[in-house]
Amino acid sequence: MPMQRVLDSYRKSIFSLSLVAGSLAALAVFLPAGAFSQSPKSAILDIDLQKPTHKVSPTLYGLMTEEINYSYDGGLYAELVRNRVFRDQTFTNEKRDPAHWTLVQRGEARASMTVEKGSGPSAALTESLKLSVEKANAASPAGVENEGYWGIPLRADTTYRGSFYAKTDDASLGPLTVSLVNDNSGMVAAKASVPALSADWKQYKVEFKTGPIRTSSENHLVLSVQHPGTLRLDLISLFPPTYNDRPNGNRIDLMEKMAAMKPAFLRFPGGNYLEGEHIPQRFDWKQTIGPLVDRPTHPSPWRYHSSDGMGLLEFLEWCEDLHMQPLLAVYAGYSLAQDRVAPGPDLDPYVQDALDEIEYVTGGADTHWGAERVKDGHRTAFSLTYVEIGNEDQFDRSGSYDDRFTQFYDAIKKKYPDLQLIATTKVTSRRPDLVDDHFYRSAEAFFNDTHHYDATDRNGPKIFVGEWATREGTPTPNFGAALGDAAWMTGMERNSDIVVMASYAPLFVNVNPGGMQWSSDLIGYDVLTSYGSPSYYAQVMFSNYIGDEVTESTLQGAGPRVFYSVTYSKARSTFFLKLVNASSNAQPLTIRLHGAAEVSKSGKLISLSAHTPEETNTISAPTRIKPVQTALHDLAATFQYTLPAYSIQVIEGSVK
Ligand code: AHR
């Protein structure tokens, strides 16, 4: 897609500019740091626990998500069958066999397959796979196999749930067998059969249980028959156990990794994924609800097809499972290829779509869209506070956002006056409740800008840092990036009266070749296992160890790459001191705690560190860098502490 390439190269050039700027800045700060490296001076950190400067925003740390890097399909969404409705338009050969599917012709069998238009199980799915079996018998079955998302993971003694839509014109076709087969041995790990297919489209369900097999991702799914005949197949699905056992649910390991981040909110559905390359490819929420067979699926702007198995209700249930509040982004009439809907009557249907969407989320069973949600299986309404209007509308070169925002703002505020509305860029015609700022930068650029929000007007809109990341390391960020992130987070925490929400992006990447569209992503995985990057662990630490107020503090005499933030919880009589040392030298500190009658000697130290900024975690070394907790025994009103080189640390202590 040419426009996508233009956007990518534009972003790349912005990123390289920021790297160059970062390097120049590095040069500027490096000389004193070099001098400092020869004689590290002790710095003095004064903290006054009796002097809160402001409350910490309880919603500060959240998640941002979209379909990118195989985040849902081939990622969080636990479906194991790839291209289950045959709409992935990349073909594997000249015969245009559907991607990720292969014809099976064992022994003497002869068959052919094709994706046929005009025959599908629903109005949404109007094409299906036609399998014509000319010759087959028990010793020579014919069928199709699916390779999954870089393999199909199988574990011992585990139940898998399969389903598919099918029909046949040949009553003599006989049973259809579904098997899970090892790629290397050809051994069948589990299989189930459907006795006969009907002449009309019908859904069939099978359940398998594996035996004592070795855990592996080198497996595939086979659907086969043992008699000649023609059959049509669609929506072929296979699920392993899911988080909270939800049907059509999420991968357990990834949900657990997110749960450990204690996120306060989830911004969804994007990002560029909300906008789409063109208007018809936006996240059209009404096409993502209800039974899977009624979801037409759509091409995502990240160059692959989205199954829409992760639809609006699934996003909301994900929030429910992780106790996060939804931050709903609504399509606002602008798509990436500079397609836009003119403000005024043309935009009205899109505004109505957003109102309907809010009703689907929050409405009772007595409302039209609330009743649809109930029909889809979720009786209770979700609570919603934040709605974002669009995404990155500063890229709309026509400058229409101000007017589009106004139209959405007025309609939403009229019906839902309590909702907090987020603008994606500066607007002047209305005062948004929040503005969403995005930062993709080098570590150096973040080191140099930790005071970014110190002087922001406290009477203006609040700030949502809806996408941010240090982009160093690929596919997942390295420790140097985690240092940039941690430095930046100290600044957000210190300013969390105005920066009320922040979410790192992107969240996920499938690390298989071809899985990544955006380098530097928080959590990496293949189909079997997952790992957190050093940046992930920095997020876990910042979000887990936090008080409810920022206290007055000063740091004097520290090196230029030392950053900190201190928060205090009066209710728990606990302080949390976050320290970041991005230099190659240890930093001695004298820490003076004022305003406490007594400081308990014992405390906790949580430490994330590495030998070099390049050091990182990978799918094969998933926890090379991870937080280590130790007990502290020498805390006092004044204590000495040496902050190691290349480290991110939290000191948790209690006072009376
Ligand atoms: O996070 C990746 C992309 O960066 C998002 O889709 C978009 O909003 C931003 O440009």
For the chain, list the domains and their CATH numbers.
Answer: 9-58+547-655 (2.60.40.1180), 89-239 (2.60.120.260)
Encoded amino acid at 246, one letter: R
Q: Does the CB atom of residue 505 touch ligand 1 within 6 A?
A: yes
**In angstroms, what CA-CA distances link 578 with 183, 253, 260, 510, 648?**
49, 28, 18, 31, 7
Length reported for the chain: 656
Tokens describing residue 364: 């009772």
The answer, yes or no, to whether residue 12 has pLDDT greater than 50, is no
- Which band of pLDDT confidence, cut at 50, 70 and 90, is reported for residue 399? very high
The answer, yes or no, to whether residue 458 has pLDDT greater than 80, is yes
Q: What pLDDT is stored for residue 20 in this prediction?
A: 33
- Ligand 1 center to 223 CA (angstroms): 38
How many of the other CB atoms lie within 10 Å of CB of 374? 17
- Which band of pLDDT confidence, cut at 50, 70 and 90, is reported for residue 417? very high
- Ligand 1 center to 392 CA (angstroms): 8
The answer, yes or no, to whether residue 4 has pLDDT greater than 90, is no
> What is the SS3 assignment for 205?
strand
Please give the distance of CA 447 from its chain centroid, rounded to a whole number. 25
Strands 265-268 and 61-64: parallel
Q: What pLDDT is stored for residue 95 in this prediction?
A: 65
Instruction: Name residues whose C-beta falls within 8 Å of residue 184's C-beta, 6 or more positions apart in sequence.
Output: 218
Q: Does the CB atom of residue 467 touch ligand 1 within 6 A?
A: yes
Residue pointed to by tokens 């805390």? 635
Q: Does the CB atom of residue 83 touch ligand 1 within 6 A?
A: no
Q: What pLDDT is stored for residue 7 in this prediction?
A: 37
Cα distance from N-terminal residue to C-terminal residue, the chain? 62
Q: What pLDDT is stored for residue 88 in this prediction?
A: 86
Residue nearest to atom 5 of ligand 1 (CA): 271
Q: Is 123 exposed, middle or buried (0-12, 13-18, 19+ CB in 10 A)?
A: exposed
- Ligand 1 center to 514 CA (angstroms): 18
Atom of ligand 1 nearest to the CA of 469: 1
Q: What pLDDT is stored for residue 33 in this prediction?
A: 34
What is the arithmetic mean of pLDDT over 638-649?
Answer: 98
What is the arithmetic mean of pLDDT over 596-604?
Answer: 96
3-state secondary structure 595-616: CCCCEEEEEEEEEEECCCCCCC
Strands of 587-594's sheet in order across: 628-632, 599-609, 647-655, 574-581, 562-569, 549-556, 43-55, 587-594, 638-643
Of the residues 4, 273, 438, which should be mutated to test ligand 1's pocket, given the most ligand atoms within 8 Å of the CB?
A: 438
Ranges assigned E (strand) in 460-532: 462-470, 499-504, 508-510, 523-525, 530-532
Q: Does the CB atom of residue 272 touch ligand 1 within 6 A?
A: yes
Mark residue 157 as left, alpha or beta (left: phi above 0; alpha: psi -120 to 50; beta: remaining). left
Q: Given CA atoms 251, 256, 257, 263 in this order, what sign does their dihedral have?
A: positive
Residue nearest to atom 8 of ligand 1 (CA): 271
Strands 110-117 and 229-239: unpaired
Determine which of 3-17, 212-226, 603-617 has the lowest per-residue pLDDT on average: 3-17
Q: Does the CB atom of residue 359 touch ligand 1 within 6 A?
A: no
Residue pointed to by tokens 């040392």? 581
- Ligand 1 center to 450 CA (angstroms): 22
Q: What pLDDT is stored for residue 60 in this prediction?
A: 98
Q: Does the CB atom of residue 481 touch ligand 1 within 6 A?
A: no
Residue nearest to atom 7 of ligand 1 (CA): 271
Nearest alpha-carbon partner for 222 in 198, 188, 196, 194:
188
Q: Does the CB atom of residue 66 touch ligand 1 within 6 A?
A: yes
Higher pLDDT, 25 or 398: 398
Determine which of 20-24, 257-261, 270-274 has the lowest per-residue pLDDT on average: 20-24
CA–CA distance, 321 with 402 (Å, rounded to integer): 36
Q: What pLDDT is stored for residue 93 in this prediction?
A: 63
Q: pLDDT tens across 85-101, in order?
A: 999 866 666 666 789 99
Residue nearest to atom 2 of ligand 1 (CA): 506
Q: Does the CB atom of residue 22 touch ligand 1 within 6 A?
A: no
- Ligand 1 center to 618 CA (angstroms): 23
Ranges assigned E (strand) in 511-598: 523-525, 530-532, 549-556, 562-569, 574-581, 587-594
Q: What pLDDT is stored for residue 108 in this prediction?
A: 97
Q: Does the CB atom of residue 518 touch ligand 1 within 6 A?
A: yes
What is the arithmetic mean of pLDDT over 262-283?
Answer: 98
Q: Does the CB atom of residue 276 touch ligand 1 within 6 A?
A: no
- pTM of structure: 0.93
Of the residues 64, 440, 471, which should be mutated to test ligand 1's pocket, given the most ligand atoms within 8 Å of the CB?
A: 440
CA–CA distance, 87 with 126 (Å, rounded to integer): 10
Q: pLDDT tens across 165-218, in order?
A: 999 999 999 999 999 999 999 999 999 999 999 999 999 999 999 999 999 999
The answer, yes or no, to whether residue 261 has pLDDT greater than 60, is yes
Q: Does the CB atom of residue 506 touch ligand 1 within 6 A?
A: yes
- Ligand 1 center to 468 CA (angstroms): 9
What is the arithmetic mean of pLDDT over 414-440?
Answer: 98
The answer, yes or no, to whether residue 610 has pLDDT greater than 90, is yes
Higher pLDDT, 167 or 23: 167
- Ligand 1 center to 369 CA (angstroms): 29
The answer, yes or no, to whether residue 232 has pLDDT greater than 80, is yes
Q: Does the CB atom of residue 270 touch ligand 1 within 6 A?
A: yes
Q: pLDDT tens across 335-384, in order?
A: 999 999 999 999 999 999 999 999 999 999 999 999 999 999 999 999 99
Please give the distance of CA 181 from its chain centroid, rounded to a whole number. 31
The answer, yes or no, to whether residue 10 has pLDDT greater than 70, is no
Instruction: Name residues whose C-beta falls within 8 Å of residue 495's C-beta, 6 or more positions apart in sequence.
Output: 452, 453, 454, 456
- Ligand 1 center to 73 CA (angstroms): 18
Q: What pLDDT is stored for residue 29 in this prediction?
A: 29
Residue pointed to by tokens 């204690």? 262
Q: What is the largest CA-CA distance in the chain?
A: 88
CA–CA distance, 79 with 258 (Å, rounded to integer): 19
Q: At what angle do helices 401-415 and 348-362 cross, to 10 degrees?
A: 40
Of the residues 268, 388, 467, 468, which should be mutated to test ligand 1's pocket, given the most ligand atoms within 8 Å of the CB?
A: 467
Tokens describing residue 216: 């592996």
Q: What pLDDT is stored for residue 115 in this prediction?
A: 93
- Ligand 1 center to 236 CA (angstroms): 31
Atom of ligand 1 nearest to the CA of 301: 6
Look over the chain and give the mean of its residue pLDDT values, rounded to a whole number.
93
Q: What pLDDT is stored for residue 91 in this prediction?
A: 62
Q: Does the CB atom of residue 301 touch ligand 1 within 6 A?
A: no
Q: Does the CB atom of residue 391 touch ligand 1 within 6 A?
A: yes
Atom of ligand 1 nearest to the CA of 64: 1
- Ligand 1 center to 272 CA (angstroms): 6
